[in-house]
Chains A and B, each alone.
Chain A
Amino acid sequence: MTFIAILSIFVMACFVGYYVVWSVTPALHTPLMAVTNAISSVIIVGALIASAEAGSVVSKWLGLIAVVMASVNIFGGFAVTERMLAMYKKKERSAAPAPKDRG
């Protein structure tokens, strides 16, 4: 791919990001941060390439450490987002609210 092609994708993606993020409801801004955290760990792709290939031992170990870090983020980020999103509930009609106090 040429540099200009890549740059074009990047610039377009910035615009997509701009409009998509403005459409996120403010109530979900914390889950937004958690999920962006998880997806920015797509950097694991680079870490995998580094650790998968024979060549430089140092590079392989750097890659493996980066894989561990990105994995913390991927699993942690998606799991905590899922956990938060599960808490958002609509008003229950006529159903008795469960008086469960965890505070």
Chain B
Amino acid sequence: MGLAGSVSFPQFFAGVAFAPPPVLGNDYAVVPAAGAHAVNPWVALAYLVAGVCFIFALRGLSSPATSRKGNRYGMAGMLIAVVTTLVTHDIASLLEIIIAIAIGGSIGFVIARKIAMTDMPQLVAGFHSLVGLAAVLVGWAAYLNPGAFDILAEGVIDPVSRAEMGLGIAIGAITFSGSVIAFLKLAGTMSGAPIMLPARHVINLATLAAIILLTLYFTVDQSVWVIAVITVLAFIIGFLLIIPIGGADMPVVVSMLNSYSGWAAAAMGFTLHNTAMIITGALVGASGAILSYIMCRAMNRSFISVIAGGFGSDGGGSGDAAAKTDRPWKRGSAEDAAFLMKEANQVIIVPGYGMAVAQAQHVLREMGDILKEAGVSVKYAIHPVAGRMPGHMNVLLAEANVPYDEVFELEDINGEFAQTDVVFIIGANDVVNPAARTDKTSPIYGMPVFDVEKAKTIFFVKRSMGGVGYAGVDNDVFYMDQTMMLLSDAKKMVEEINKALAH
């Protein structure tokens, strides 16, 4: 970027053009367009205030106690940004805009009310796709009507704005098509298994390179075909990037697309010279990137290997004999669990996504309540990858009225297992597998796991002994002396335990 507008550019829609090489420099301000002529300082200030509100919105999330106030800041910021825009632009169609907001707003509001908490990952993916598509549409609108966006310079679109526009449209389109695939996979409409194309790395890299080169070319030739090809290629690459990723890697994908939606908004902010959009874009981009990093770290996977795809395929790992062994294991009953947990000083519950699939969170919370009334200290231990997206399990437990100060993260509770009488594992598997610490050949080696085997007694709720976790590896915890397997549907088992506890 940083191309000066001091060279004469071909006329709008002039077809293929051969402009002289642009002069490098950052004297962007010499172009008098770029919104410089009529920017009211109060308007810029209003957008800045909106941006600061968004920072406060995220800051509020540092604790559940301040989080709702943070959300209000976010709403206030959005209101400021929208009202400022409407007040300071010649509105040719206020009625249409109000109708558009009313339509979109009511759809969004109804969805937000009705959505089940287990379906949050697909909801978020769906919302990302809308941000992406909106960015594409805004980019195109700016291209077709540059005057409205103050990005005209000497009759053509300012070249720096063109680069920003090209990038914004490309990132938006990638976000859109990628999120649609992620949505379909998470909603189960499309198989979650990775779909592998031959030579996909070559295809992906070539497409990416083409997008970058075309965006550069767009700065010297603003013909419609350039931007059209960029848009189409970006839709394709978003699709290609996500289809080979599946299974356990989906939380990374959702986080990554979150990041992209931010970068798309930031690129549009550059085009429009709008601080609210730039600040927001940077915040959201950083947020998604950090969440992707946290998810990758929790699975001990590198970001590159996730993007390259293929993990969680049905073949591979689970194929090699599924680790079925004839090692002895003990079967426990609901009465055993009820008796030992009632006698315990401390019980740690390790829930996994299987618990949520069985809809056992409410009966599990009842079990916790009964135990607490009996004077047992009850804690919940949550692994970062326990749900289908970052923090998903926390929301599911919160929905079941589990107080958030009884819920602990991996690093905060891992030291406590040695002083714990009973560990109750329900719907989790890989996150308690000691092979991640000891077995260098294991596919999950290096993944941080709970040290459950240090506890005196382990109850492992599982449907049957046959199935293994996502990674398809056997778990030594099944066969330990202090382990009792509770083989049943998670919800039924907890209900039986609750009955036994009531006596």
Are A and B associated in one complex? yes
**A residues adjacent to B (C-beta < 8 A):** 1-4, 6, 9-11, 13-14, 16-18, 20-56, 58-60, 62-92, 97-103
Q: How far is the CB of B97 from chain A (nearest CB, A)?
A: 6
B398 engages A84 (CB within 8 Å) = yes
Bound-complex Cα distance A11 to B100 (A): 33
Given the contacts A35-B58, A62-B141, A77 and B127 also touching, CB distance less than 8 Å: yes
B399 engages A87 (CB within 8 Å) = yes
Q: Is B313 an interface residue (CB 8 A)?
A: no
- A1, A4, A24, A46: the one contacting B141 at CB < 8 Å is A46
Q: Is B62 an interface residue (CB 8 A)?
A: yes
Residue in A1, A6, A27, A62 with the greatest tally of chain B CB atoms within 10 Å: A27
In the assembled complex, which residues on chain B have CB atoms less than 8 Å from the CB atom of A25?
A: 61-64
B127 engages A10 (CB within 8 Å) = no
Chain B residues numbered 141-161 whose CB sits less than 8 Å from any CB in chain A: 141-142, 144-145, 147-149, 160
CB-based nearest B residue for A28: B61
A17 engages B287 (CB within 8 Å) = yes
Q: Is B26 an interface residue (CB 8 A)?
A: yes
Bound-complex Cα distance A60 to B94 (A): 12
Given the contacts A21-B290, A39-B57, A48-B97, A6 and B394 also touching, CB distance less than 8 Å: no
Question: 26 pairs across A/B with beta carbons < 8 Å?
Answer: A1-B273, A2-B26, A3-B1, A14-B285, A14-B286, A16-B282, A27-B64, A37-B258, A38-B78, A39-B74, A42-B77, A42-B265, A43-B134, A48-B89, A52-B91, A52-B92, A60-B141, A69-B137, A70-B130, A75-B112, A77-B108, A79-B108, A80-B120, A84-B395, A85-B71, A102-B362
- B54, B111, B258: the one contacting A42 at CB < 8 Å is B54
CB-based nearest B residue for A92: B403
Bound-complex Cα distance A63 to B462 (A): 52
Chain B residues numbered 89-109 whose CB sits less than 8 Å from any CB in chain A: 89-94, 96-97, 100-109
Chain B residues with a Cβ closer than 8 Å to the other chain, count: 139
Bound-complex Cα distance A21 to B105 (A): 27
With A46-B271, A49-B149, A90-B64 given, can you name 14 additional A-B contacts, CB distance below 8 Å?
A4-B26, A33-B255, A35-B57, A39-B284, A48-B85, A51-B97, A52-B93, A54-B92, A66-B141, A73-B108, A89-B403, A90-B404, A91-B406, A100-B401
A34 engages B138 (CB within 8 Å) = no
- B130, B283, B407: the one contacting A36 at CB < 8 Å is B283
Q: Is B342 an interface residue (CB 8 A)?
A: no
Bound-complex Cα distance A83 to B288 (A): 21
CB-based nearest A residue for B108: A76
Q: How far is the CB of B502 from chain A (nearest CB, A)?
A: 12
Chain B residues numbered 176-204 whose CB sits less than 8 Å from any CB in chain A: none
Give chain A's interface secondary structure class: helix
Q: Is B469 an interface residue (CB 8 A)?
A: no
Q: Is B55 an interface residue (CB 8 A)?
A: yes
Bound-complex Cα distance A18 to B291 (A): 11
A10 engages B100 (CB within 8 Å) = no
A13 engages B130 (CB within 8 Å) = no
Q: How far is the CB of A3 from chain B (nearest CB, A)?
A: 4
In the assembled complex, which residues on chain B have CB atoms less than 8 Å from the CB atom of A36?
A: 58, 258, 261-262, 283-284, 287-288
Given the contacts A37-B261, A45-B85, A67-B104, A26 and B391 also touching, CB distance less than 8 Å: yes
Bound-complex Cα distance A51 to B384 (A): 42
A28 engages B131 (CB within 8 Å) = no
Bound-complex Cα distance A60 to B140 (A): 10
B145 engages A72 (CB within 8 Å) = no
CB-based nearest A residue for B27: A2
Q: Is B268 an interface residue (CB 8 A)?
A: yes
Bound-complex Cα distance A20 to B232 (A): 35
Residue in A32, A89, A100 with the greatest tally of chain B CB atoms within 10 Å: A32
Given the contacts A75-B108, A78-B71, A80-B115, A26 and B394 also touching, CB distance less than 8 Å: yes
A103 engages B361 (CB within 8 Å) = yes
A26 engages B282 (CB within 8 Å) = no
In the assembled complex, which residues on chain B have CB atoms less than 8 Å from the CB atom of A102?
A: 362
Q: Is B253 an interface residue (CB 8 A)?
A: no
A64 engages B97 (CB within 8 Å) = yes
> 5 smallest A-B Cβ distances: which pairs?
A71-B104, A76-B108, A29-B391, A17-B286, A50-B141
- B90, B106, B272: the one contacting A54 at CB < 8 Å is B90
In the assembled complex, which residues on chain B have CB atoms less than 8 Å from the CB atom of A14?
A: 282, 285-286
Chain B residues numbered 390-410 whose CB sits less than 8 Å from any CB in chain A: 390-392, 394-395, 398-401, 403-407, 409
B278 engages A28 (CB within 8 Å) = no
Q: Is B338 an interface residue (CB 8 A)?
A: no
In the assembled complex, which residues on chain B have CB atoms less than 8 Å from the CB atom of A48?
A: 82, 85-86, 89, 97
Bound-complex Cα distance A79 to B115 (A): 11
Q: How far is the CB of A45 from chain B (nearest CB, A)?
A: 5
Bound-complex Cα distance A79 to B291 (A): 22
Bound-complex Cα distance A51 to B35 (A): 18
